[in-house]
């Protein structure tokens, strides 16, 4: 363990201030600007030194973050940003993640209530499932527990909703592919019971209906819903390739990776033979082979907005109980290109070991 002089020197050098200034901050003495004080505290944290007890912030309370799982990189990204925003407001986040056969959302809520949380943010929870009982959220509202629901809208629940504009996402993907010359554009996403899937599919259909019907063919046969994830994307893509699509719009980046795998198993290539568009723009997607064209979900803006809405609810300054819609963005990379040829029938299968 280095002595105090060594620690003061390290902190001062990292913060760009004198050792005397560091000493003033650590002893909580006046005469230091807020900006300099924060620079010293940040240096203290970065270098791994424990803050003196007098400088530690007391938690304003616990806030639950309920997310469906962590396999899809988009959910850890949302949780990380939301946790940072909560910490800035003095709240301690409690992350609750679900796994198949594990703790359910309702069980997590009971655990959070036992810990007297100040509020809960639900991300892509049961509120997004149109077949679920949404009254569970109304009961929380009736208990006067502040909640915010992300990516899923349920009419009648008096709470703020934060959503990605999935209808626009479907339109953006099709518009990009159509501009490249594609007409046989397939669509795959998760189960239809989820509201974001319904909205994205509606956007896809609306955009496809603007294209020449004779070139598109039977629109409904170009839709193959599956399970979210790489395996689901691969299975759906196999069926779409049998129908001769030249491009595939996927409901997540992981599904898009599965679709690329399905294309390559047939001895075809992306984007020369089949173009693929993902959804989310999760971390590392820009470094796949090929780099994935995708619809970027504005995760940072949505996470910060969700936290702000919850903080307002906790403070009794209720945000409007409506749905705040955030605009997605088309990010063009290497997985899309103009079609090589017009559709000439189903894609041939290639034998695999």
Positions of the chain with pLDDT under 70: 1-6, 56-59, 341-353
Tally of CB atoms within 10 A around 111: 14
> What does the pLDDT read at residue 275?
98
Q: What is the pLDDT of residue 184?
A: 96
- Predicted local distance difference test score (pLDDT) of residue 3: 45
Residue 217 confidence (pLDDT): 87
The pLDDT value given to residue 328: 98
Count the neighbouring beta carbons within 10 Å of the beta carbon of residue 142: 10
Q: How far is Cα 122 from Cα 108, in angstroms, rounded to an integer?
A: 11
Question: What is the model's pLDDT at position 210?
Answer: 95
* H or E element, residue 202: helix 195-208
Among 48, 52, 53, 51, which residue's Cα sits nearest to residue 2?
48
Per-residue pLDDT tens over the stretch 122-146: 999 999 999 999 999 999 999 999 9
pLDDT value, residue 41: 80
pLDDT at residue number 189: 97
Residue 64 C-alpha from the chain's centroid: 17
Q: Which of 22, 31, 24 has its CA nearest to residue 49? A: 22
Neighbours of 218 (CB within 10 A): 9
pTM, entire model: 0.80
Q: Tell me, what's the pLDDT at 2? A: 41
Question: What is the model's pLDDT at position 351?
Answer: 45
Which residue segments constitute the domains of the chain, with CATH numbers given? 4-55 (1.10.260.40), 61-165+298-327 (3.40.50.2300), 166-297 (3.40.50.2300)
Give how far the C-alpha of residue 276 lies from the chain's centroid of Cα atoms, to the nearest Å: 20
Task: Name, in order, each residue with C-beta under 8 angstroms of 12's C-beta and a sequence gap of 6 or more.
Answer: 18, 19, 21, 22
Select from 295, 271, 331, 285 the least CA-distant residue to 171: 295
Q: Tokens 């979900």 map to which residue?
A: 297
Q: What is the pLDDT of residue 255?
A: 97
């Amino acid at each position: 363990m280095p002595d105090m002089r060594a620690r003061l020197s390290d902190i001062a050098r990292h913060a760009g201030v004198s050792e005397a200034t560091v000493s003033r901050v650590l002893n909580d003495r006046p005469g230091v600007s807020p900006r300099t004080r924060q620079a010293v505290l940040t240096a203290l944290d970065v270098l791994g030194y424990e803050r003196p007890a007098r400088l530690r912030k007391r938690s304003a309370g616990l806030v639950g973050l309920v997310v469906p799982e962590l396999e899809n990189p988009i959910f850890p990204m949302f949780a990380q940003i939301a946790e940072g925003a909560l910490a800035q407001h003095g709240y301690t986040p409690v992350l609750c993640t679900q796994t198949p056969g594990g703790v359910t959302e309702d069980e997590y809520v009971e655990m959070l209530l036992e810990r007297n949380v100040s509020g809960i943010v639900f991300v892509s929870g049961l509120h997004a499932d149109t077949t679920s009982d949404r009254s569970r959220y109304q009961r929380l509202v009736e208990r006067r527990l502040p909640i915010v629901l992300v990516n899923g809208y349920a009419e009648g629940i008096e709470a703020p909703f934060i959503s990605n504009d999935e209808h626009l996402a479907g339109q953006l993907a099709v518009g990009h592919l159509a501009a490249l010359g594609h007409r046989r554009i397939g669509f795959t996403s998760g189960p239809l019971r989820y509201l974001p899937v319904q909205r994205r599919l509606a956007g896809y259909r609306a955009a496809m209906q603007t294209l020449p019907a004779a070139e598109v063919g039977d629109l409904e046969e170009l839709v193959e819903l599956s399970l979210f994830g790489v395996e689901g994307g691969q299975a759906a893509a196999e069926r779409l390739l049998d129908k001769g699509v030249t491009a595939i719009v996927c409901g997540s980046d992981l599904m898009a990776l599965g679709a690329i795998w399905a294309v390559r198993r047939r001895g075809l290539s992306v984007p020369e033979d089949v173009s693929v568009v993902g959804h989310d723009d999760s971390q590392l997607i820009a470094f796949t082979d090929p780099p994935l064209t995708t619809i970027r979900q504005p995760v940072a803006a949505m996470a910060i907005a969700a936290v702000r809405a919850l903080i307002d609810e906790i403070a009794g300054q209720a945000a409007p109980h409506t749905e705040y819609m955030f605009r997605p963005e088309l990010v063009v990379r290497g997985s899309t290109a103009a079609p090589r040829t017009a559709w000439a029938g189903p894609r041939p299968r290639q034998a695999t070991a």
